Amino acid sequence: MKKYLSPTTGSWPAIVARPVFDTKQLQEKVQAVLESVRLRGDDAVKEFTQTFDGIQLDALQVSSQEIDTAEDRLSEGLKAAIKTALKNIYVFHDAHKVKPIRTSTMPGVTCWKKVLPIEKVGLYIPGGSAPLFSTVLMLGIPAQIAGCKEIVLCTPPGKDGDIHPAILYAAQLTGITKIFRAGGAQAIAAMAYGTASIPKVYKIFGPGNQYVTCAKQLVQMEGVAIDMPAGPSEVCVLADDTADAGFVASDLLSQAEHGADSQSVLITVSEKIMATVEQEVESQLSILERKDIAQKSIANSKLVYMDNMDDAIDLVNEYAPEHLIISCAKAEAIAERITNAGSVFLGNYSPESAGDYASGTNHTLPTNGFAKAYSGISVESFTKNITFQQLTEDGLANIAETVVEMAAAEGLSAHANAVKIRINKNSN
């Protein structure tokens, strides 16, 4: 891990920097995939699946029988865990639905906003070596609460060509029936343009690797909405001398095992904690199943010692992490000063894993510093708003002079006339 001791603000850009990719080359590769799927549909999706994943597919859509029998392939313990997570996620998201409010801005002028679901949404669920069935819950539940009419799910098949049964079971619990064996940029293209098998959607959700992220950004330029430009996962731990070094190391490693391009950062005001965490990381790393992946990520991760908590908090806000764990004595007070983060975990007993799976908050969050401007997924992400206004005759009379003055100042006489013609008619 890279170490920084009392870094000056001039060196902060290097500390908060994420892994850099050759974006020009990446965009060229992804654009070629998008164009091929746009022109050749299902055939292109199947060819790319064989080329990139080594899997030959006959049918892209998962049958209803496969979905119905998926639960038979899971242990009772896992099914119970998924149901508990589902309940917690549902309770949290349902409680945060936006409620419509009618407002009278002045006598005779009433305005209100109607919240409507996005009719057709696409969910991308990472699969392959780590099928993220938890992401099905994180995306499917708010989509269900929002009332989306058509929910399409794409996920890469395993080496046997099948979808992991936990993904199918979680989808079934959230009412998703349109599930397709498609991963990578080709899945994003299929949902953006539509194919013979995979329906076109209005907005695409879900995390993914650099190819998926790039594909989402490119189709967004063509008018398909996306949730956020989420890239490789990341965690930042802010710790003082009350932190448990073993706990901190486990949090850093839990993020590192996502992928070689994931990033784990420790910012601490305790040199002792910094040194002990480094030792704990090495010790815990040796027993991980995904040791090789985590090792590559940890090699690019960072340990930062700051002289005081004020500077440490400033650095955290500059980094704007996807996940922030505050392992400090005054965690709540410190949390009040956090302005840039996707999701925050307070205290020694709030591991990021809890939020990833079952505490209730959403784990689909902005990465790569986008937490400075983006929020994590919520029910609102799956809705759109239409505003309404209704003016009585008296209401128009009350606001007429304001509108006419402003329209005239902007040189838009037709705007002014649309008010004048009504006022003049009523005064005759």
CATH of the domain at 269: 3.40.50.1980
Active site residue 322: yes
Say if residue 239 is in the same domain as residue 222: no
Q: Which of 234, 280, 322, 352 is catalytic?
A: 322
What does the pLDDT read at residue 274? 96
Say if residue 253 is in the same domain as residue 289: yes
What is the C-alpha separation between 232 and 21, in angstroms, rounded? 11
Say if residue 308 is in the same domain as residue 403: no
363 is in an annotated binding site: no
* Confidence (pTM): 0.93
Q: Which of 164, 323, 352, 363 is catalytic?
A: 323
Asked if the structure places residue 4 within a domain, the reply is: no
Asked if the structure places residue 99 within a domain, the reply is: yes
End-to-end CA distance of the chain: 81
233 is in an annotated binding site: yes
Say if residue 411 is in the same domain as residue 288: no
164 is in an annotated binding site: no
Asked if the structure places residue 357 within a domain, the reply is: yes
What does the pLDDT read at residue 297? 84
Say if residue 151 is in the same domain as residue 38: yes
Asked if the structure places residue 9 within a domain, the reply is: no
Range of the domain at 218: 23-227
What is the C-alpha separation between 67 and 71, in angstroms, rounded? 8
What is the C-alpha separation between 213 and 167, in angstroms, rounded? 21
Question: In a 10 Å sphere around its CB, with 0-12 CB exposed, 13-18 middle and 19+ buried, how is residue 389 labelled?
Answer: exposed
Domain C-terminal end among 192, 227, 262: 227
For the chain, residues with pLDDT lower than 70 are 128-129, 428
Asked if the structure places residue 13 within a domain, the reply is: no
Say if residue 356 is in the same domain as residue 420: no
390 is in an annotated binding site: no
262 is in an annotated binding site: no
Say if residue 70 is in the same domain as residue 27: yes
CB-facing half-sphere around the CA of 137: CA atoms within 13 A? 31
Say if residue 243 is in the same domain as residue 365: yes
**Total domains present in the chain:** 3
93 is in an annotated binding site: no
What does the pLDDT read at residue 428? 64
Active site residue 96: no
Say if residue 95 is in the same domain as residue 184: yes
**C-alpha distances in Å from residue 75, one per residue of 72, 80, 166, 194, 358:** 8, 9, 10, 36, 18
Say if residue 93 is in the same domain as residue 157: yes
Q: 187: which 2 tokens?
A: 């899945």
What does the pLDDT read at residue 53? 87
Say if residue 193 is in the same domain as residue 260: no
Radius of gyration, alpha carbons of the chain: 25
Say if residue 132 is in the same domain as residue 207: yes
